[in-house]
Structure 1
Amino acid sequence: MLNHHIAYVPIEWSMLPIKTFRFVIELEILGNFYRENRIEGIVVCLENTVAVLEGHQNHIWLKRYSDARTSSYHNDYIAILVSCILPGPKVSHKQIFMVPREWLQNGKLECILYNEMKFHYLKYGKCEGLVIKLTGVKAFFESYSSYLWARKDFDWAPEPDKKSYLAVFVPCIYCSEPKF
C-alpha cells in the first residue's frame, strides 16, 4: 500500500475530476524526482493556473506562481490526497485537530476522530466538511492554518479560542493505520 499525504492545490482545479489532477501531480513528482532527485520546484499547469510545488510543514503545497504568501489559505486552496510514490520507508506521523474541550470527556476520542475522518475522506475526497456530534457538542471540520479545526456549531470566531478548543494528535489518515 502506498503512503498518502495532503497536497494543497489551487481552488481553480476543484472543477476538474480529482483523479485527473491527482494523476498529473503524481506523474510530475515522480518524473522530476528521477530527473533531478528532488521534488521542490516542480511546475504544474492545469486550467490556465500555473503552480509550483513547495513543501509546507508536513504537506505538499502547489503554490500559484503569482502567490507571494508563505502559507496556503483555505479560501484559495483545497486539500487533496496524493500518493507518496517516492522510494523510502513508510513514515507515520500525527495530525493536529483543534477540537471542542467538551469532547475530551470521551476516552476513545482519537479512535473516533481517526475512523470518522478516514471514512469521510474516502467518501468525499477531502477532510473539510465532516460533521461530528460528541457529548452533545456538534462541530464542523475546516482547515485552519496548518491543521483541521472542529468548529462548534454557531461559533463564528475567526480562529479557535484557547478556552474553548484544545489540540488533539490523531494518527495521519493518509499514511498510517491506528494501533488502538
Structure 2
Amino acid sequence: MREIKKTDFKVTEWSGGKTTELYILPEGADFSKRDFDFRISSASFTGTSSNFSDFYGYQRYILPLQGFIDVKYEGLYDRHLEVFEAEYFDGRWKTYSENSLDTLDYNFIVRNGSNATMEIVREAKEVKADGYKLYVFSPQAYKAELNGEVKEMNAWSLYIIEEDFKITDLKKPIIICKYK
C-alpha cells in the first residue's frame, strides 16, 4: 500500500477555479499535453457555470464531493448530480455545467480502451483487487483491514492498493478507481 498525502497533491489554477491533481499515470506525465493514461483530480469552482475541456480520446467520470453539478451534453441529455452521484461520459462530448458556488468535484479521466472503472462504496465491505490497482480516496477518515491489520486511513489521502482489503468503518462514501 502506498499513501499519497494531500500535501503531495499538485494544485493549479484553471479558468473557473483550482484543480488539485491527486495522481496521474504515468507519474510525471503532463496533463496539458494529453500524454497520460489516467488522471485523478478534484476541482473547486469560483463561479456557477463552466465549459468542460475537450478530452477527445478519453472517457470521464465526475461526481460532486460537495454541492451539486448539472451536466449538460450539447445535443444529447442533461443530468443533475448530488453529492457522490457519479456520471460517466465521453470526453469529446461538448459539455457545459451549472453548479452551486460551493461545489467541489472529483474526476477520473481515462484513455479510451483502458481497463478502468470507478466505484462508490457506501458501507463496510470486502474489496477485491482482481488484478487491478486500486486508487482509494475519501474526504473523511475511515478504517480498513489489510493483511489482517486494521489501519486508520487518512482523510484527503489517495491510497494505491494492489490486494484485496476490507473497509471496516466509514462515515462518508469512499471512491475507488480501478485500473489495470
Q: TM-score, normalised by structure 1?
A: 0.28
Name the structure where helix makes up a greater proportion of residues. 1
Name the structure where strand makes up a greater proportion of residues. 2
